[in-house]
Structure 1
Amino acid sequence: MASILYAWEFGAGLGHMGVFLPLARELRDAGHEVHWMVTQPTVAGDLLANEGFTWIAAPTVQESIRPGPPLTYADILLRFGYADPRALFGLVGAWREAMRLTGAELVLADHAPTAVLAARTLGLPVMLFSNGFTAPPRRSPLPNMRPWSPVPEQTISQLDFAALAAVNTVLARHHCAPMKQLADLFDVAEEALVTFPELDHYADRGPARYWGSLPSAGAGRPVEWPTGEGKRVFAYLRPECMHHEALLVALHALGQSTAIYFPGMNPALQSRFAAPHMRFLDHPADMEQMTREADIGITYSSLATTTAFLLAGKPLLLLPWHLEQFMLARRVEEMGAGRLVNPEQPPGDLRAVLADLIDNPVWRGNARAFAAKYAAFDQQAVTGNLVRRIAEMLDDTTRTTP
C-alpha cells in the first residue's frame, strides 16, 4: 500500500484536520500509511493523539504586513513568503524533504499551496482537498475575493505577477518549466471540492464537481441542556470573534436554553455571564446531537458546523472574523438561511436578530429547503468515493512510474 502525506499550511483551529480525519481513518483501514504535516502541532495533539496518528510541523513563515486586507488568493500568498523568492525556496525545500522522508506517493493538500508547489518540483500527484476557498477558480488574474469592494484590474493583476515571479524563480532553481499564470499552481491531478455549490466561497466559479461534505470526525461529547424556556440555542465561538461579548449579552438577555462551546474564553467573561440557562462547555459538543436538538446554531462561520446545521434544516447566526469565513457567511445569508454579523460594523441589536432567527419561519424554511435538496445525500458515501479516487490516482502513478 501507499504512503500519503496530508499537508495543511494555512489556517487555524480544528476545522481542517477534523474534516480530514474520517477520510484518514478510512485510508488507514485500506492499508495506506497516512502522514500528517500540520501548521498547528498543538491542536493536532488534541485531535490525533488518541487516533494513533503521528504528526510533524509544517514549514511556515510569519505573516508579513501588507496594506489593507487581502484582496485575492495571490495577496494571501504574498503575505506568507511568496513576496520573497529566497523565502519561498526555503519553504519549498522543507516540504520536499518531508515528502522524501515520508516516502510520499500522493499529497493531499488542504490549504497548502507551498506543498502543491513542492510536489510539482518532485513530480508527485496532488489532490486538492478543498472547501472551495483554497481552490480559487482557474482565472488570470485570480479573482477579487471582496467583490463588494471593487478593486482596479491593474491592482489585481499586479498581485498575480508578484507571486508568479517568486514561484517561477523557485521552479527554475529546481529545473522545472515555468508557469504561464499563477492559476496554474492549482492545476493538479484532482480537485476535490468537499462542499456544496451553495456554500462555495466563489459564487461565480462556473462548472465544477462537488463531492459534498464529509461526516463529522466524532470528536464531540453529549451535552446536557441547561434549564430554560422556549427554544434551544447552540453556539460555537472563538475569542477572535469581533462581537462575541455583545452576543453573550444578547444570549443572556434572551433567556433560552443555551449551550456554548467557547475554547480560549476568558474565565472572567464566563463568570460574568454565568446563568442557569447558559451552559459553557469544557469540551467539543456532539454535533449530531446539537443539530438534531438545537433550534438555531451560532458559529464563527466554521464550514463544518455551518454545513451540519443547514443539512439539519436549522438557521444560523454567523460571526466570522476573517475573509474565508466572511465569504461563506455571505453565501448563507444570500440563500436566506442565516444572518451575518459583520466584524467591520457595529453589531446592532443582536437580541432582536436572534429572536427573529428563532421566531421567523422564513429563515427556518430556507434552511429546510437546503436540507430537503440534499436529503438523499450520504456523507458516509463521500468518504468511500474519495478513498476509491485516491486508489485510482495511486494506480495511475504506479503505471506511469518507470
Structure 2
Amino acid sequence: MKRRILFGWDFGAGNGHAVILREIARHFPPESHDLLFAMRYPVTAISVGIDPRLVIQAPDNALRPADQPLSKPVARSTYGEFVCEALIGPGRDFAQRLAGWDSIITAFKPDAIVAEYAPALSLFARGRVPVAAIGSGYSLPPAGMAEFPSLTKKPLPRFASEAELVERLNGYLRKAGALPIDRLPQLNAADTHGLMTLPLLDPYLEFRDGGCLGISHSGPAPVPVQAAAGFIAYFGEPWQLNGAFLDGLLGAGIAGQAFLGPPLRRTVKRMAGSSITINDRPFDIAREMPGRAVAIHMGTLGFAAAAACAGIPQFMLPQHQEN
C-alpha cells in the first residue's frame, strides 16, 4: 500500500519555498508514495517543475470586512506577532484557513506532512498526523523558546502580547478540534524540523540546539569565480507592475538577466531592445549566478544564501520583516 505525503506551504512568496518541497519530494518514489502539494501559489510550484496534477491551492485567509480600516506598520518586532497578525488580524479569517486544511487532510488522509513556512498547517495537524516542519532561519524559529526575541533594534508598535496571542489562537484551535499551545513559539511545533539555511542568515542561531541543513538547489551550490560582469536579479511577479522598479533596472545601463516570475507581455515589451534578458524560468543558480558583479533581489533568503556562496555583492529591496 502506498504511503501518502502531503506537502504544504502557507506563507512567503519566493520560488524557494516550492523548490525546497520539490527537492524533498524526490526522495519519495512514486511507486511507493502518493504525493499532494497544497501550495500558496500553485503557479509557482508548477513553474519550478512540480507535476501540475499533484498541485492544489492551499487554504488562504479570506478577507472579510474589518470593524475599522486596517493600519499596520511594515514590520513587527517578533516573528510571532508578524505571523499572528497575518492569521488573526483585522480582516482575516483564521477559522476558514483551519477548515481548509481540515478538508484537505480529511480528503487526502496523509501518512505524514511536510510543512514549509506553514504554521497554520502545523498547528492544525499537530498530534493528528506526523509533521516535519521545514523552513529558513527566519521562518522556522526554535519551537522550544519561552518567547520570541525581538528581531529589530527599532521600537515598533505591538500587535498584542504573547499571552494574548496564545489565548486568541487557542480559541480558534479548540473550535477546530486542534491541540492548544502553551507558548507562542509553538507556532512551529512539529515532530521533526529541517532548518534550510546557512548560519550567516539565521536570526535565531544563539537559540538553536541543533545545526542547519544548508540551502537547497537543483544543482550544486554556486562558487566564486574571478571574472565579474553584469547583474542577476530575482523578484516576485508583482514587481513587474512596479514602473519605478523597471525604470531603475533600465536606467542603470547595466547588462544583466532577471527572473520576475512568469513574464508578462508588457514586461517583455518594455525590456525589448535593452541589455537586460528576462528569464521565463527560475535561474539555474549554480550555472548562472557565478561571475555576476552584483545580485539584486527582494531579500529572499535562498537567493541571498546563494549569492553569499558565490561571493558576490548584494543589493536588496526588502518589502517586509522576513526579507
Maintained 8 Å contact 1:258/1:278? yes
Q: Does 1:20 align with 2:25?
A: no
Maintained 8 Å contact 1:83/1:166? no
Q: Structure 2 residue aligned with 1:310, among 293, 308, 320?
A: 308
Deviation string 1:135-170 (CA, Å, 9 cap, x unpaired) is 22443432223x121358xx47x3423331232223
Q: Distance in 2 between matches of 1:34 and 1:230?
A: 42
Deviation string 1:114-153 (CA, Å, 9 cap, x unpaired) is 1111112x522211111122222443432223x121358x
- Equivalent residue runs for 1:1-400 within 5 Å: 1-28=2-29, 31-48=32-49, 51=51, 53-62=53-62, 65-71=70-76, 72-83=78-89, 87-120=93-126, 123-137=128-142, 138-145=144-151, 147-151=152-156, 155=158, 158-173=160-175, 178-202=180-204, 204-216=206-218, 231-238=229-236, 239-240=238-239, 244-245=245-246, 247-249=248-250, 251-252=252-253, 254=254, 257-263=255-261, 277-325=275-323
Change over 3 Å in CA distance of 1:176–1:98 after alignment to 2: closer
Matched positions, count = 305
1:78 offset after TM fit, Å?
3.3
SS at 1:323 equivalent: coil
Deviation string 1:250-284 (CA, Å, 9 cap, x unpaired) is 531x4xx4223334677667666655633333433
Q: Which protein shows a greater Rg?
A: 1
Change over 3 Å in CA distance of 1:203–1:244 after alignment to 2: farther
Q: Distance in 2 between matches of 1:44 and 1:141?
A: 33
Maintained 8 Å contact 2:7/2:113? yes
Maintained 8 Å contact 2:95/2:176? no
SS at 1:23 equivalent: helix
Maintained 8 Å contact 2:122/2:189? no
What TM-score do the two structures reach when normalised by structure 2? 0.79
Maintained 8 Å contact 2:197/2:302? no
Runs of 4+ residues deviating >4 angstroms: 174-177, 264-276
SS at 1:298 equivalent: strand
SS at 1:79 equivalent: helix
Q: Distance in 2 between matches of 1:273 and 1:178?
A: 51
Q: Which has the higher helix share?
A: 1
SS at 2:134 equivalent: strand
SS at 2:319 equivalent: coil
Change over 3 Å in CA distance of 1:4–1:292 after alignment to 2: same
Q: How high is the sequence identity, in percent, across the aligned residues?
A: 22
Q: Distance in 2 between matches of 1:269 and 1:171?
A: 43
Maintained 8 Å contact 1:260/1:280? yes
SS at 1:297 equivalent: strand
Query: Of the two structures, which has the highest relative contact order with CA contacts closer than 8 Å and spacing of 6 or more?
Result: 2
Note the residue ranges of structure 2 that are not aligned, 5 or more in a row.
221-226
